[in-house]
């Protein structure tokens, strides 16, 4: 066994169930999953029940995460009930690292502009998947040949194109910092590339599963591969890799979305979007790279996309592995199962699939520590 110490990874928007849906994931189980996947920092999405849209809610989740081996940085909801803006000054003071609009843009362009203006005034980054809400409404998979064969309503790449077409002129006008979460299409990569060349203050990430697979994997109706944004075509996946390589896309995210088994196991069209990913992201990418199903990637690039770049998006310093990292056996082969994963939810497409690379121990503040223990069933 050959061990290597890598810097702690950083995730730009995982979802936990707490508060409100603890049966899917608690903060403790989610951070244990993150730690066992090599992460030392995660930004948590705010769309819980109730949502993280006040300074009190930010303080609450930070308190519940205190003392664990993976830092939790809350994203706060950019808006509250009935379209009112959140109190961003108070959210920033409470420790929110940004505000999020979620998986689609607001239907009101005026509200979107107000969010960007208010966030810029408070020096907060706005996180959003740039998707037109109307075009994505009621869609299940990517609009393409697979959707036609399966008889499922599609979500077109046009939803991302129009979303970016709405958002980027407002970024140009307001000078707000925007992180474009989970870019999924070739046209999306192209528009982000153009925005960066223009000098707009935007960054972007892509989920690891959009790098691993395309819409063809949905032919057998596997519920665990039903994610949002949907897996798109082979040309889109090629473009996403090109965007990572040339810097148009900054980082890789886990798209960790735990869903309780009794809900996820519904028929494909009724099953909620979501899959866990914090524990399998890096090992799945390593295994695919070795198998030749994705491009060969140097270890330095994995570290850049999973640690250095996402930390930069959050305004964090580069991680020193000697102080904050994870010991890995990159040659270890293993198969995820409910018994080997820390997440409370089992909606993981890699269940039973041979992966490569296993976290062994942690390093925190210069001291080696054991991985968090798995919950007893």
CA distance 255 to 251: 12
pLDDT of residue 83: 82
* Residue 263 domain boundaries: 11-279
Q: Is 117 contained in some domain? A: yes
DSSP per-residue string spanning 189-202: HHHHHHHHHHT-SE
Q: Average pLDDT, stretch 200-223?
A: 97
CA distance 14 to 38: 14
Q: Average pLDDT, stretch 231-247?
A: 98
pLDDT of residue 265: 87
pLDDT of residue 374: 87
301-348 pLDDT tens trace: 999 999 999 999 999 999 999 999 999 999 999 999 999 999 999 999
Q: Is 176 contained in some domain? A: yes
25 neighbors 261 (Cβ within 8 angstroms) = no
Q: Is 109 contained in some domain? A: yes
CA distance 285 to 293: 10
Does residue 260 carry a pLDDT above 70? Answer: yes
* Residue whose entry in the numeric block shows the structure tokens 């069209």: 269
The rounded Cα 148 to chain-centroid distance in angstroms is 28
Q: Is 307 contained in some domain? A: no
Domain count, the chain: 1
At 317, list the tokens: 């310093």
Q: Is 299 contained in some domain? A: no
Residue 376's pLDDT band (cuts 50, 70, 90): low
Q: In what order do the strands lie in the sheet with 125-128?
A: 9-14, 39-44, 71-77, 98-102, 125-128, 178-180, 202-207, 251-253
Residue 375's pLDDT band (cuts 50, 70, 90): confident
Cα–Cα distance list, 157 to 73, 133, 176, 177, 187 (Å): 31, 12, 25, 24, 7
**Domain at 249, CATH number:** 3.20.20.140
pLDDT of residue 3: 94
pLDDT of residue 1: 66
Mean of the per-residue pLDDT values of the chain: 96
Q: Average pLDDT, stretch 352-365?
A: 97
């Amino acid at each position: 066994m050959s061990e290597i110490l890598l810097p702690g990874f950083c995730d730009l928007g995982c979802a936990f169930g707490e508060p409100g849906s603890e049966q899917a994931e608690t903060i403790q189980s989610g951070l244990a999953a993150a730690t066992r996947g090599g992460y030392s920092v995660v930004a948590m999405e705010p769309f819980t029940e109730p949502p993280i849209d006040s300074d009190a809610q930010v303080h609450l989740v930070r308190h519940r995460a205190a003392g664990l081996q993976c830092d939790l940085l809350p994203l706060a909801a950019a808006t509250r009930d009935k379209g009112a803006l959140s109190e961003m000054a108070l959210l920033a003071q409470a420790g929110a690292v940004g505000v999020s609009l979620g998986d689609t843009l607001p239907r009101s362009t005026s509200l979107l502009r107000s969010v960007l203006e208010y966030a810029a005034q408070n020096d907060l980054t706005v996180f959003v998947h740039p998707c037109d809400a109307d075009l994505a409404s009621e869609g299940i998979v990517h609009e393409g040949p697979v959707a036609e064969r399966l008889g499922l309503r599609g979500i077109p790449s046009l939803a991302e194109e129009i979303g970016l077409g709405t958002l980027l002129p407002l970024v140009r006008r307001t000078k707000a910092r925007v992180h474009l979460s989970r870019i999924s299409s070739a046209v999306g990569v192209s528009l982000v590339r153009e925005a960066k060349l223009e000098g707009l203050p935007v960054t972007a990430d892509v989920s690891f599963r959009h790098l691993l697979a395309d819409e063809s994997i949905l032919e057998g109706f596997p519920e665990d591969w039903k994610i949002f944004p949907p897996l798109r075509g082979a040309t889109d996946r090629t473009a996403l890799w090109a965007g990572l390589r040339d810097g148009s896309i900054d980082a890789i995210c886990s798209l960790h979305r735990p869903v309780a088994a009794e809900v996820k196991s519904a028929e494909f069209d009724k099953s909620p979007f979501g899959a866990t990913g914090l524990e399998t992201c890096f090992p799945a990418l390593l295994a695919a790279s070795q198998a030749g199903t994705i491009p060969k990637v140097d270890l330095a690039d994995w570290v850049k996309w999973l640690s250095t770049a996402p930390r930069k998006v959050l305004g964090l310093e580069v991680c020193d592995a000697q102080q904050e990292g994870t010991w890995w056996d990159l040659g270890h082969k293993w198969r995820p199962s409910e018994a080997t994963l820390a997440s409370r939810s089992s909606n993981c497409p890699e269940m039973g699939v041979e992966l490569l690379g296993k976290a062994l121990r942690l390093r925190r503040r210069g001291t080696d520590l054991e991985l968090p223990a798995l919950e007893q069933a």
